[in-house]
Chain A
Amino acid sequence: MSKFLALACGVIIGGGAAAALTGCGNSTPQPVEADGGITPRQFANAVHAVMMADRTVYAKHIVTRLKEQGSEVSASEYWQDEEGTIPLPAQMFRMGAEIVDGNEEAGFTYALKSLWPLNPQNEPKSPQEIEGLKYIVDHPGENFYGEEKLGDKTYFTAVYADKAVAKACWDCHNNHADRGDDYPEFKEGDVMGGVVVRIPLD
């Protein structure tokens, strides 16, 4: 009974974790730790579920809806420069990551990275990120979990596939002026990059 209560607490703490624990590739709910806390893996899965839910809502119910209704407002990469525009879903996602980055109380960071970034600043930097991004491409439907040392800190690092789900996404990427020579022609369902969630362990 107490184990059940602890699991319930873990789910509540994770904020929307129910979706995470059942919807992240092949991950399965992990046992709650003896002290009632949740594991770094559960925490990563939970926050990833929340961030992906928010991004889906933004893409589906805001960006797509504006387009379907023929609104004068549209999503644009250059939204800061162009009147009547709002950020692309991926930009919205990155801006959220920057806010979390600036929040010392958050206790974790996340980033959207790719083996084929349009902006070189978004390429994987650590060996673990490179391994994780390759893993999610080679193992469809699975997430990558590992530990790494960066500077003098050890981190739990999770990498989740970021797939091409809307034609607007792969169309824009495939035709972008900044695409490199080895840039793939993306199509629906392809893994275009990965969401890296990183939690300090010490």
Chain B
Amino acid sequence: MSSWIYALVWLALSLLVGSSLGVVLLSDDSALKQTYLPGKTTHGHYQIEMKCSACHDPDLGVTSKSCLECHENELREALDTHPASKFNDPTNAPRLAVLDAQNCIACHKEHVPHETHPMGVTLPQDFCFHCHQEIADERPSHKNLDFHTCQTSGCHNYHDNRTLNENFLHKNLDQPDHLVEQVVPERNALARYLASQDEPVKPLQAQDAAFHSSVARDEALIDAWAGSVHAQVGVNCNDCHTQDQKPETWQNHVTHETCQKCHADETSGFLSGMHGMRLSQGLSPMSPGDARLPMKHSSVHAELTCSSCHSPHDADVRVAAVDSCVKCHNDEHTLAYQQSPHARLWRDELAGDLPPGSGVSCATCHMPREEHGSSKAPKVKVQHNQNDNLQPNEKMVRGVCMHCHSLQYSLDAMHDPHQIESNFSSTPQQPSVESLEMVRRWFDERKSRRP
């Protein structure tokens, strides 16, 4: 074969391979693109690992700015104990030379699974030592504790210490394991909405349903809608299914962007969590088939949007509270739920044997009702970022467990992996977390020194 034929074949092959790799590289959402991954990403980011630009800036590499675009609100809400600005005091220069605590990726690197600890930390776990060497002198109670143990359940978190600050621990020292009143806050979004309107809201009836003439009338759907909160607050079919009420824009499919118009907080939470983070990056919806957690085979092809969990017409939030979760999740903790004491309470509440707010559904713990404002003007919101209070799990103690249980009981339960796997089907061994007793001794000792 003459040399020009070799050259032609070489050129053709080069073009073929080059264009294939180019297409893969330029695509934001391609499994083939994994070829370019330098290493496995963490549980928190694997869903968006194919969209390199979510974290990598072409000019600056990976900076804290990328991290804060998704996590800034979470850190603010958590009253971050170690914000980057804390280290701007120039006297921290010697510390920063050892550990660059102003940069997220100094502690949280991606693509290094062999170095990654819980919470995506890629530092040796005794990192607290760098700034808190004197702790044994300041607190005799800490004398024999290893710096590797600081971040364990019930002691300290680097960013979020709302539950673990001394004052809170001290105030909640002696409570019964099961509180006298065991209910979660009552949702009040509807009441707040109605109160905020200048004119009284006129509820819509089935005969008021307004939809495009090309759409076949479905009595079951209309009846469900007419009984929903949407009809109660005057939201008609056209409001969700068209753009600006223009009939020609009718679409049966409703996206999260439509829900967002009225449910901004809920959608924002959804987009921040594992369920919606792909959508927030402009990728296709999350599918259980792509999850790292065990999922039910029957749901692997489902796609996660608002309507995946919420029945879009009857808007019965009780469906989303348990049924929607167990439809997909197939891990030990989820499978143990139906036999747990929490599930019994939930069933009793649904049956009307217990007052509203007494039951414990999946959503009670993973999408908790958060209290904002004050007791005089409470603003209860449902946190739709199911990761917000999940890791580290002590974050659940204050906002979830303590609606019904003592602080000690809650910390002990969250400290025990077997308790979590069995969905809290037995009583935690007490006290396994010593933090509260350490706080008691500290306050008692200090008090005894004063006249």
* Stretch from B205-213, B237-245, B273-281, B442-450 at the A interface: B442-450
CB of B59 closer than 8 Å to a CB of A = no
CA distance A124 to B94 in the complex (A): 14
Q: Is the CB of B450 within 8 A of A78?
A: no
**Shortest CB distance A88–B (Å):** 13
CB of A61 closer than 8 Å to a CB of B = no
Name the one of B86, B90, B171, B446 contacting A178, with C-beta atoms under 8 angstroms.
B446
CA distance A129 to B91 in the complex (A): 9
Name the one of A84, A102, A126, A178 contacting B85, with C-beta atoms under 8 angstroms.
A102
**Shortest CB distance B260–A (Å):** 29
The tally of residues in A whose CB lies under 8 Å from a CB in B reads 27
CA distance A151 to B98 in the complex (A): 11
Interface residues in B110-155 (C-beta closer than 8 Å to A): 134, 138
Q: Is the CB of A155 within 8 A of B90?
A: yes
CA distance A200 to B134 in the complex (A): 29
CB of A168 closer than 8 Å to a CB of B = no
A150: which B residues are within 8 A, CB to CB?
90-91, 93-94
**Shortest CB distance B172–A (Å):** 11
With A120-B134, A151-B96 as given contacts, are A177 and B91 in contact (CB-CB < 8 Å)? no
CB of A2 closer than 8 Å to a CB of B = no
The 0/1 profile, CB within 8 Å of B marked 1, for residues 93-134 of chain A is 000001101100000010100000000100011100100000
CA distance A120 to B137 in the complex (A): 11
B375: which A residues are within 8 A, CB to CB?
83
**Shortest CB distance B370–A (Å):** 15
CA distance A200 to B90 in the complex (A): 9
With A151-B94, A151-B96, A177-B443 as given contacts, are A109 and B89 in contact (CB-CB < 8 Å)? yes
CB of B53 closer than 8 Å to a CB of A = no
Q: Is the CB of B167 within 8 A of A109?
A: no
Q: Is the CB of B86 within 8 A of A98?
A: yes
CB of A175 closer than 8 Å to a CB of B = yes
B2: which A residues are within 8 A, CB to CB?
none
Q: Is the CB of A81 within 8 A of B168?
A: yes
With A150-B93, A151-B93, A198-B90 as given contacts, are A101 and B374 in contact (CB-CB < 8 Å)? no
B88: which A residues are within 8 A, CB to CB?
101-102, 109
**Shortest CB distance B95–A (Å):** 9
The 0/1 profile, CB within 8 Å of B marked 1, for residues 62-95 of chain A is 0000000000000001101101100000000000
The tally of residues in B whose CB lies under 8 Å from a CB in A reads 27
Q: Is the CB of A153 within 8 A of B91?
A: no
Interface residues in A136-175 (C-beta closer than 8 Å to B): 150-151, 153, 155, 175
Q: Is the CB of A101 within 8 A of B85?
A: yes
Q: Is the CB of B138 within 8 A of A120?
A: yes
CB of B17 closer than 8 Å to a CB of A = no
CA distance A178 to B171 in the complex (A): 16
CB of B319 closer than 8 Å to a CB of A = no
Interface residues in B20-66 (C-beta closer than 8 Å to A): none
A102: which B residues are within 8 A, CB to CB?
83-85, 88
B93: which A residues are within 8 A, CB to CB?
150-151, 153
Q: Is the CB of A175 within 8 A of B134?
A: no
Q: Is the CB of B167 within 8 A of A78?
A: yes
Q: Is the CB of B450 within 8 A of A175?
A: yes
CA distance A153 to B91 in the complex (A): 11
With A120-B138, A151-B96 as given contacts, are A81 and B167 in contact (CB-CB < 8 Å)? yes
**Shortest CB distance B440–A (Å):** 12
A177: which B residues are within 8 A, CB to CB?
442-443, 446-447
A120: which B residues are within 8 A, CB to CB?
134, 138
CA distance A178 to B446 in the complex (A): 7
CB of B97 closer than 8 Å to a CB of A = yes
CB of B354 closer than 8 Å to a CB of A = no
CB of B9 closer than 8 Å to a CB of A = no
CB of B79 closer than 8 Å to a CB of A = yes
**Shortest CB distance A110–B (Å):** 9
A99: which B residues are within 8 A, CB to CB?
85
CA distance A178 to B276 in the complex (A): 45
B96: which A residues are within 8 A, CB to CB?
151
Q: Is the CB of A101 within 8 A of B450?
A: no
Q: Is the CB of A98 within 8 A of B85?
A: yes
Residue of A nearest to B171 (CB): A81
CA distance A153 to B168 in the complex (A): 40
**Shortest CB distance A106–B (Å):** 10
CA distance A200 to B168 in the complex (A): 39
With A83-B374, A126-B91, A178-B446 as given contacts, are A151 and B97 in contact (CB-CB < 8 Å)? yes
Q: Is the CB of A101 within 8 A of B86?
A: yes
A109: which B residues are within 8 A, CB to CB?
88-90
Q: Is the CB of B89 within 8 A of A101?
A: yes
Residue of A nearest to B90 (CB): A150
A153: which B residues are within 8 A, CB to CB?
90, 93
Q: Is the CB of A151 within 8 A of B90?
A: yes
Interface residues in B331-382 (C-beta closer than 8 Å to A): 374-375
12 pairs of residues in contact across A and B, judged by CB atoms under 8 Å: A77-B167, A80-B79, A98-B86, A101-B89, A102-B85, A109-B88, A150-B90, A150-B91, A151-B93, A153-B93, A178-B446, A198-B90
Using a CB–CB distance below 8 Å, which chain A residues touch chain B? 77-78, 80-81, 83-84, 98-99, 101-102, 109, 111, 120, 124-126, 129, 150-151, 153, 155, 175, 177-179, 198, 200
Shortest beta-carbon contacts, A-B, top 10: A151-B93, A102-B85, A125-B91, A101-B88, A177-B446, A150-B90, A101-B85, A150-B93, A78-B167, A126-B91
Q: A77-B167, A101-B89 are in contact. List 9 more A-B contacts (CB 8 A).
A: A81-B165, A98-B83, A98-B85, A109-B90, A120-B138, A129-B91, A150-B93, A153-B93, A179-B446
